[in-house]
Amino acid sequence: MAATLFLAPQRSRSAEMGNADPALRALVEQRDALERQIGELKLRKDKTDPARYEQDLEKLLTDLALKTRAIRDLEAKK
């Protein structure tokens, strides 16, 4: 959570995305949502079954990697 607040607050990313391609903007919003979900999951780690935590974390991280790749691919086409 500190990394997102310190390195690139949501406000600055929103302003940057204001003029972006709608497809890119949607991918970035989805990526941001995944990052928030990962942060929330990590906060609940102590209250979650370890196997379930690992399974949920793996899925979110995989989804995040795929979304990040889609963003890079779309940006490379520009």
Give residue-wise pLDDT tens across range 18-76: 677 899 999 999 999 999 999 999 999 999 999 999 999 999 999 999 999 999 999 99
Count of domains observed in the chain: 1
Do residues 23 and 74 lie in contact, with contact meaning Cβ atoms separated by under 8 Å? yes
Range of the domain at 41: 21-76
The alpha carbon of 7 is separated from its chain's Cα centroid by a whole number of angstroms, namely 14
Flag whether 1 is in a domain. Answer: no
Residue 8: name the closest of 32, 42, 30 by CA: 32
The two structure tokens encoding residue 49:
């079954």
**3-state DSSP call for residue 48?**
coil
Residue 8 lies in a domain: no
CA 35 to chain centroid, in Å, comes to: 3
Residue 78 binned pLDDT confidence (cut-offs 50, 70, 90): confident
Does this model's pTM top 0.85? no
Decide if 12 is inside a domain.
no
